[in-house]
Amino acid sequence: MLERPAQLLKVVREAIDVEKDGYHFYQAAAARIRDGKGKEVFRSLAQDELDHWQVLEGLKQAIETKTKFKFTHKGKGRKSAARSKSPIFSAGFKSKIKEDHFELSALRIGQLLERNAIEFYGKHAGKTKNRDLKALFNFLVAWEKDHLQALVQQERFLKGKL
Amino acid sequence: MDKKEQLLKVVKNAIRVEYDGYQFYRLAEEKTSDPKGKEVFASLAKDETNHMQILKGLYQSVKEEEEFKFDQVKEITSILQTTSESPIFSKEFKDRLDKSQFEMTALSVGILLEKNSIDFYKRSALETEEKDVKMLFTYLADWEGEHLRALVNQQKYLQEDYWTEARLYPF
């Protein structure tokens, strides 16, 4: 169980690292990607991770100052992109891409990061009895799953499987 | 799917795994400000290119139904000092850590990629019946294991100071 503050603080720090890695990776990838829409979506993925990081910093602070943490982040506020066939890159980008492009690697590395985040939050959501914390971790699982779905879908589209 | 097609699929996936590593280490090389880090990331990218070449050779052999011999593969040669406490970045880099947040991500992502490769090669080595292919996959798993050790050691060396830094947030 995660109820001891020292244990909880360790998990929250690890969670911050997970978000930080996502943020820095998507930022760096956005700078390298040539497709205009791709650039924009990778920046938006980075922004999502930054938002999560910020929420987690609030939680960290609450633990450190021994104040009550209240999870109030309700909606995602942005429409999920995962429903589109080409949720990340412009549809025209498909004709320019070959098997060996940075963009395909960026999609696969992104998937690895999202799977890692989903596994991490899912594991720790199951370990805590704190209702707000469980809600936060489950909320993050759902959001990262949305990212993962968009990345998987985009890779399949570029490889001609959609 | 027959055995040949199955093996071709596995080798193609292996090439992708190496290609993603290559692309990521090139990105890390480009983004890091530490000269030693640049050199080591370039060398990691070169290792992944070498692995890709070996795998492309294997792909060709399987496709042409020619015999693939593992002894064509060279010994593991790397500039990595895996046992050093700072095998990737210069020791002075630790003092500049507050300005170098991408580098910590480069280590974490590198670790994820290497673990993913090792799992993939170990699983593929178990699944293949070809002796030389099994040996090659085991050899690649070992080589990626060397990369992983260096990345983990470097992360450990930097992590403590990283967390004691006052504020590292971009917001």
Structural domains of chain A, ranges and CATH numbers in brackets: 5-158 (1.20.1260.10)
* Domain assignment present for B149: yes
Neighbours of B61 (CB within 10 A): 17
Q: Tell if the CB–CB gap between A112 and B112 is shorter than 8 Å.
A: yes
Domain that holds residue B42: 3-162
In angstroms, the CA A138 to CA A69 distance is 16
Amino acid at residue number B104: M
Q: Which amino acid is at A17?
A: D
Round to whole Å and give the CA distance between B163 and A64: 14
- Give me the pLDDT at residue A132, please: 86
Query: From CA A99, how far away is CA A85, in angstroms rounded?
Result: 19
**Facing residue for A24 by CB, picked from B102, B116, B169:** B102
Distance CA(A34)–CA(A89), nearest Å, equals 10
pLDDT in tens, B39-53: 999 999 999 999 999
- What pLDDT, in 10s, does the model give residues A115-155? 999 999 999 999 988 888 899 999 999 999 999 999 999 99
Measure A162 CA to nearest chain B CA, in Å.
Answer: 19
Q: Are B151 and B107 in contact (CB under 8 A)?
A: yes
Query: Which residues 59-98 on chain A approach chain B with CB closer than 8 angstroms?
Result: none
Q: What is the pLDDT of residue B85?
A: 77
- The reply to whether A109 touches chain B by the CB within 8 Å rule is yes
* Least Cα separation, residue B57 to chain A (angstroms): 17
Distance CA B141, CA A106 (A): 22
- Residue B31: inside a domain, yes or no? yes
pTM: 0.88
Domain-embedded: residue B169? no
Q: What pLDDT score does B34 carry? A: 92
pLDDT band at A70 (very low <50, low <70, confident <90, very high): confident
pLDDT of A6 reads 85
- The rounded average pLDDT for each run of 10 residues, N- to C-terminus, in chain B (171 residues) is 89 96 96 93 94 94 89 64 77 75 93 97 94 93 94 87 55 57
B167 found inside a domain? no
Cβ of A112 within 8 Å of Cβ of B113? The answer is: yes
Q: For testing the chain A interface, which of B108, B115, B167, B168 should be mutated: the one with the most A CBs within 10 Å?
A: B108
pLDDT for the residue B77: 64
pLDDT score for B72: 59
